[in-house]
Amino acid sequence: MALNDKSTSRRGFMKRAAGITAAAAGFPYIIPSSALGLDGHIAPSNRITMASIGTGGQGSYDTRALMSLPDTQYLAVCDVDRTHREASKAFLDEYYKDKNDKFSGVDMYNDFREVLARDDIDAVMIATPDHWHATISVAAAKAGKDIYCEKPLANSIPEGRAVVNAVERYGRVLQTGSHERSRDNARYAAELIHNGRIGKLHTILVNQPIDNHEPIPNQPVMPVPEELDYDMWLGPAPWEPYTLKRTHFYFRYILDYSGGEMTDRGAHILDLAQQGNDTDRTGPLTIDGSGWFPEDGLFNSAMSYKVNFEYANGVTLVCESIGPRGVKFIGDDGWIFIHVHGGHLEASSDALLKEVIGPEEKHLGRSRGHHADFIENVKSRGECKAPPEVGHRSASMCHLANIAMKRGRKLHWDPETEQFTNDTIANNMLHRASRTPWHV
């Protein structure tokens, strides 16, 4: 058969596929899923079994939040830093010590692939540095796991789209870790806007001050600490020699691993802006901004910026590195400001914040907490408050801002095709290099 004879080959596929069914009947393909009570089996504990991948600062927070829910059971933790995974195991084992006599403790892993290979784990929480988010999320979806992935959902727009596609393909549940939208106040503010309480929305001001805005000098090459698997930490990111401030926490100010403040807290605040604008499954039409990227030193993400976005609905969004941190929605009849973090609301009048949203009006649905919402939807196979498309679009806002600042000109964006329509070079900037063998 000629390799280029596609039609013949494709029909042939089905013929042989019929044959392989019989041959495959004896394959050990079926992963027991009794922990979920699937297919009529009653779950031994009716809990969602979990593992955390990435257990540093944010990972510890997420792990504790998920651990504390009554319907989860942790089985494993994974981190390329031994001290992180050991600390995580220690607090999980301590937590479960008095709750489950038969539990012998969580298992520890250095390589996330070993976690994904376990049949008895239903869901994973991913809180690695950003450059790993998409690779692990896609792999997790392919392995049949449900996913709680920290924000930003991915480190580039094509990677984010790959996550959305993988989750959809395998019918998985994914919650992006943009937990600010699960706050009652943030939801209420968005409902007020959507239901016309501030009149026609025309302007959104996003305040994203940079707390750690000082650049740092070039850093010396350092020996890799014994407890860190540095090659695995780098993963898909370009190889660079180890230095302390490249890794934990500080990675967010280096563009190979993250997008600076813009993708860090920006992924929260722009997410709320997208929600309030009712555009959280699409994106802007134009992006125009400027920023200051340090000319030298280790950190190379924007340390101050001002970016304008224009949407098809006529709304203009201005994102600036100023305080107080939060987002202000301005309409013809009033305004609302959501403080991030904390969710405290301010408005053009006290009466506005006493408004009741009637049953016939648009409701966004209350969240019992971002982590609880995830587990609830793992069980009901519903859509989380920050599903993949929403998480991807919010992260896209951050990436678009960074590209527009780099490119230094007004860019026109097609949210459908996720391509710039007026700039080839900007389209090339959408992609990131991946070290072999990692790719999404």
Where in 144-183 is the site for another protein (CB under 8 A)?
144, 168-172
Coil vs helix vs strand at 324 = coil
CB of 71 to another protein, least distance (A): 10
Cα 263 to chain centroid, rounded: 10
Buried b (16+ CB within 10 A) or exposed e, 61-78: bbbebbbebeebbbbbbb
Which residue intervals of 42-198 are DSSP H helices? Answer: 57-67, 82-97, 112-116, 130-142, 157-169, 184-194
CB of 166 to another protein, least distance (A): 8
CB of 133 to another protein, least distance (A): 17
In the shown chain, the binding pattern of residues 296 to 325 toward another protein, with x for contact by CB under 8 A and - for none, equals: xx-----xxxx-----------x-xxxx--
Verify binding: residue 28, another protein, rule CB under 8 A. yes
What is the per-residue DSSP string for 188-251? HHHHHHHTTTTSSEEEEEEE---TT----------PPPTTB-HHHHHTTSPP----GGGSTTGG
Note whether 104 and 74 are within 8 A (CB). Answer: no
Count of residues engaged in binding another protein, rule: CB under 8 A? 109
CB of 268 to another protein, least distance (A): 19
Give Cα separations from 170 to 17, 119, 147, 274, 379 (angstroms). Answer: 20, 16, 12, 27, 16
Instruction: Specify the residue, 101 or 221, whose C-beta has the smaller distance to another protein.
Output: 221
Binding residue (CB under 8 A) for another protein from 110, 243, 282, 419: 243
Instruction: Specify the residue, 106 or 164, whose C-beta has the smaller distance to another protein.
Output: 164
Binding residue (CB under 8 A) for another protein from 98, 101, 416, 436: 436
Verify binding: residue 232, another protein, rule CB under 8 A. no
In the shown chain, the binding pattern of residues 196 to 215 toward another protein, with x for contact by CB under 8 A and - for none, equals: ---------x-x---xxxxx
Q: Say how far apart CA 59 and CA 85 lie, in whole Å.
A: 10
In the shown chain, the binding pattern of residues 245 to 284 toward another protein, with x for contact by CB under 8 A and - for none, equals: ----------------------------------------
What tokens does 187 get? 């939801």
CB of 343 to another protein, least distance (A): 20
Residues 6+ apart with CB under 8 A from 306: 289, 290, 291, 318, 319, 320, 321
Binding residue (CB under 8 A) for another protein from 379, 410, 412, 415: 379
The separation between the first and the last C-alpha atoms of the chain, rounded to the nearest angstrom, is: 31
Beta bridge partners of 48: 72
Where in 341-370 is the site for another protein (CB under 8 A)?
349-351, 354, 356-361, 363, 366
CB of 82 to another protein, least distance (A): 25
Binding residue (CB under 8 A) for another protein from 5, 94, 114, 414: 5
Verify binding: residue 291, another protein, rule CB under 8 A. yes
Where in 64-123 is the site for another protein (CB under 8 A)?
none
Instruction: Specify the residue, 104 or 220, whose C-beta has the smaller distance to another protein.
Output: 220
What is the per-residue DSSP string for 105-120? --EEES-HHHHHT-TT
CB of 10 to another protein, least distance (A): 4
Verify binding: residue 14, another protein, rule CB under 8 A. yes
Residues 6+ apart with CB under 8 A from 292: 302, 303, 304, 305
Verify binding: residue 4, another protein, rule CB under 8 A. yes
What tokens does 84 get? 């992180």
Verify binding: residue 21, another protein, rule CB under 8 A. yes
| Stretch of residues binding another protein (CB under 8 A), selected from 31-39, 77-85, 174-182, 390-398 | 31-39
- Give CA torsion, residues 147, 148, 150, 154, to 10 deg: 30
At 54, give phi and psi (nearest 5°): 100, 105
Would you call the peptide bond into 44 cis, given omega within 30 degrees of 0 as the criterion?
A: no
Give Cα separations from 27 to 20, 38, 109, 141, 224 (angstroms). Answer: 11, 20, 27, 21, 43
Instruction: Specify the residue, 21 or 104, whose C-beta has the smaller distance to another protein.
Output: 21
| Stretch of residues binding another protein (CB under 8 A), selected from 125-133, 141-149, 174-182, 272-280 | 141-149
Verify binding: residue 33, another protein, rule CB under 8 A. yes
CB of 243 to another protein, least distance (A): 7
Verify binding: residue 220, another protein, rule CB under 8 A. yes
Beta bridge partners of 345: 338
Instruction: Specify the residue, 92 or 255, whose C-beta has the smaller distance to another protein.
Output: 255
Instruction: Specify the residue, 92 or 173, whose C-beta has the smaller distance to another protein.
Output: 173
Where in 39-68 is the site for another protein (CB under 8 A)?
39-40, 42-43, 46
